[in-house]
Structure 1
Amino acid sequence: MSEIPDSMQAVVCHGPEDYRLTEVPVPVPGPGEALVRVEAVGICASDLKCYHGATKFWGDAQRAAYVETPVTPGHEFVGRVVALDETAAERWGVSVGDRVTSEQIVPCWECRYCLRGQYHMCAPHAIYGFKRRTPGAMASYMIFPAGALVHKISADLPPAQAAFVEPLSCALHAVERADPTFDDVVVVAGCGPIGLGMIAGARARFPRKVVALDMAPDKLALALRCGADEAINIAETDVVAAIMDLTGGYGADVYLEGTGHPSAVGQGLNVLRKQGTFVEYSVFGSDVSVDWTIISDDKELDVLGAHLGPHTWPAAVRMLESGVLPLDDICTHQLPLADFQRGLDLVGSGKESVKVSLIPE
């Protein structure tokens, strides 16, 4: 291992659209912690939402701010262990030099949810890149706190592809929430990173049919390579009519929403059969209104949310290492840390990229 420097480059969020590349001290791990040299960090929709200054709301009452500033963003990453003590090595089963990733949430392990195994719902939780006590991976080095969930990942994968484990784990959790059966028709809305992971995860359940929806022909082609049986361009086709035709007039059994666009919610309610299952996994930029009569009186639907990727990371690692996903075409852009603004702009556009990652030097 090379000598650890005293300072490093890091992107620091100071407020809405005020991100700066800064020289900061390399953090020093405390008891039970690990220092990790970052190899790649992905940019996702929640990073973009944070960049534009989003605040969480509950009805008319403002909740906690989406991010605590100043903080280094970045919650989907991979890196190499460069320093840790015996306690951390024994807890995580890792050594200096190992390639590792960490789940994006750092639970307290003491609240009601953590004690029930629902650690992704941890009440006083921290998430890398959003809380000051857990700086993220848009930096040369980062700390894995003592309470982190850490996983090894193959050194044979290119860094940006290994970092795709985070969005993939989230997608697999959404599939688990839906729990599709062998006879189900599963519709996935959106063929971005999460949607493509949903398609691969749904295909692994061997349902009757997996149908991908998007407006971009290149992403629909990629969806077919990830396991979709049908790929429908919603800009050219009446989606509801097409799904009804595929299902003998009944509608889809499962609808996985991964676009973050309000129109995709109503679309899902309309393409589902009676007693179908709707799973929402998106970052929305605005409120969504739907006719709840469809959910209740018309169809008696199961409407579920999905958050993070609890207990799915080992499966996501195995899926990446298996080679089943066309990762060269999913991980489209790798940029130096200094080009973080271009990376955010690419994600914001959504037209030129699928997965954008930053590669610290």
Structure 2
Amino acid sequence: MTTTDAQTSAELPSTMRAVVVHGPEDYRLEERPVPTPGPGELLLRTDAVGVCASDLKCYHGAEKFWGGEYNEAWAEKNRIPGHEFVGTIVAAGEGALQARGAELGQRLACEQIVPCWDCLYCSRGGYWMCEPHDMFGFKGFDGAMAEYVLVPERALTHLVSPELPGQHAAFSEPLSCALHAVERGNIQFEDTVVIAGAGPIGLSAIAGVRQKNPLRVIALDMVDEKLELAKACGADITINIAEENAEAKIKELTGGYGADVYIEATGHPSAVQQGLNLLRKLGRFVEYSVFKDKASVDWSIISDDKELDVLGAHLGPHCWPAAIKLIEDGKLPMDEVCTHQFPLERFQEALDLVGDSSGGSVKVSILPNGPIPDGTANNLAA
């Protein structure tokens, strides 16, 4: 890299530590060359990368719907995972800073998809459904479970305050996704809205629904501690489905009719039938989760019984500025949401904790360049 080709904020190392995919349940910490940004590209020093359920399903060998059928591993081999991240700009290829209105030393969050900008969907404005569907950490481009990450020219980026802890700033990715699901629900002031699941996406959806100010926001989960956090994020009513009949309770609250909107954020097949049952006629079902197992439901509920609107939600298009603002404005209990941070060398523990329903985690993050918070319950580095 020369000063005529690019700009750098400091002398950069030649190699970096990175987690690399070798196959299902075979991720390894390796030394990789630090990428050199070409024209239009940026290099970020990774501040934080979140670990989500999609990462875990990928780790265990789940397949993804690419090209018409489930026929490809979710992440390519030799790929660096990590799709929800923020980083500080440390180097830029020719024209990259000007194109993004950014400067060296600023912090960026990157949308997880890297659109082709040429397919049918991109040309019609639906970039988040891009047909090639390259995504950081899964397909086409390395992600951020590494000390540095390269941002290609085609990627979408958003400035984020450097004052935020890295794990809080990286939460803009799941929050933007949940806000898109909320938008899909077309929530009205008089609605009773039910969110199934009080994990990172569910809590984010609760926060987003609260911004729409419907009549009632109801959270469902099986863990009382998560339901308490749901209240802090904006739920009016919480129901522990292990102890109460959610359908009966919601119908009691709504004069026997049922909820207007149901947002599914658990990834468990049983939550699909649950939503169909507790919605009123002409209600709206929004599906966000990525499922490990197929869901089987009574399809006639959707048509003949209730004439429901069933809506999918994928990624977080056009919701990133709002998500970042919610976090920067201190509207969410981020210290309680971002419960666990790990150094890069303990990536395996981070993955395992996401898969441990009894581990007490909400949002797990990796801080490839440190520092791990100390003196708090979040400190797992000791």
Report TM bin, short chain: over 0.9
Secondary structure in 1 matching 2:219: strand
Is it true that 1:28 corresponds to 2:36 in the alignment?
Answer: yes
Partner of 1:48: 56
Matched residue, 2:86: 78
8 Å CA contact retained: 2:188, 2:214: yes
Which amino acid in structure 1 is aligned with residue 213 of structure 2?
Answer: F
AA partner of residue 327 (structure 1): M
Deviations 1:107-130 (A, max 9, x none): 011111111111000011210000
AA matched with 2:121: Y
Q: Which residue of 1 aligns with 2:240?
A: 233
For 1:300, what is the secondary structure of its paired residue?
coil
Distance 2:349 2:234 in 1: 31
* Residue matched to 2:4: none
- Name the residue aligned to 2:331: 324
User: Which of 64, 89, 97 is equivalent to 1:89?
Assistant: 97
AA in 2 matched with 1:277 = R
Output the aligned Cα RMSD. 1.2
User: Which deviates the most, 342-351 or 273-282?
Assistant: 342-351
Partner of 2:74: 66
Post-superposition offset of 1:57: 5.6
1:150 to 1:269, Cα distance in 2 relative to 1, 3 A: same
Question: What percent of counterpart residues are identical?
Answer: 62
Q: Which amino acid aligns with 2:233?
A: C
Partners of 1:34 and 1:358 in 2: CA distance: 21
Query: 189, 195, 205: which is aligned to 1:188?
Result: 195
SS in structure 1 at match of 2:49: strand
* Amino acid in the other structure paired with 2:36: V
Matched residue of 1:23: which SS? Answer: strand
Task: Tell me, yes or no, if structure 1 residue 159 matches structure 2 residue 166.
Answer: yes
Segments of 4+ moved more than 4 angstroms: none
**1:35 & 1:12 partners in 2: Cα distance?**
18
- Name the counterpart of 2:215: 208
TM superposition shift of 1:155: 1.0
Question: Deviation at 1:86?
Answer: 4.5
1:5-20 equivalences under 5 Å are 5-20=13-28
Higher helix content, 1 or 2: 1
Please tell me the residue identity of whatever aligns with 2:89. Answer: V
The equivalent residue for 1:285 is 292
Question: How many residue pairs get matched?
Answer: 359
Q: CA deviation at 1:350?
A: 2.9
3-state secondary structure, aligned to 2:238: strand
Deviates more, 1:327-336 or 1:78-87: 78-87
Question: Which residue of 2 is the match for residue 249 of structure 1?
Answer: 256
Partner of 1:309: 316
User: Is 2:340 the partner of 1:340?
Assistant: no
The residue number in structure 1 matching 2:117 is: 109
How far, CA to CA, are the matches of 1:61 and 1:87 in structure 2?
39
TM-score between both structures, scaled by the size of structure 2:
0.92
Deviation per residue, 1:276-326 (Å, 9 max, x gap): 000001011111100001000000000011000011001111111110100
| Partners of 2:298 and 2:345 in 1: CA distance | 46
Separation in structure 1 between the aligned mates of residue 197 and residue 187 of structure 2, nearest angstrom = 18
TM-score normalized by structure 1? Answer: 0.98
Cα–Cα, structure 1 residues 357 and 208, in superposed 2: closer, same or farther, change >3 Å?
A: same
Matches within 5 A, 1:341-360: 341-351=348-358, 352-360=360-368
Deviations 1:72-109 (A, max 9, x none): 00000011000113521122111110011110000011
* Residue in 1 that maps onto 2:127: 119
Q: Distance in 2 between matches of 1:246 and 1:147?
A: 48
Does the 8 Å contact 2:39/2:94 carry over to 1? no
Residues in 1 aligned to 2:337 and 2:217: alpha-carbon distance in whole angstroms: 19
Alignment check: 8 A CA contact 2:38 2:94 kept: no
The aligned residue for residue 47 of structure 2 is 39
Worse-matched range after superposition: 159-168 or 80-89 = 80-89
Amino acid at match of 1:172: L
In the alignment, the residues of structure 1 paired with residue 309 and residue 215 of structure 2 have an alpha-carbon distance, to the nearest angstrom, of 20
| Offset of residue 62 of structure 1 | 3.4
Give unmatched runs, 5+ long, in structure 2.
Answer: 1-8, 370-382
Point out the more displaced range, 349-358 or 223-232. Answer: 349-358
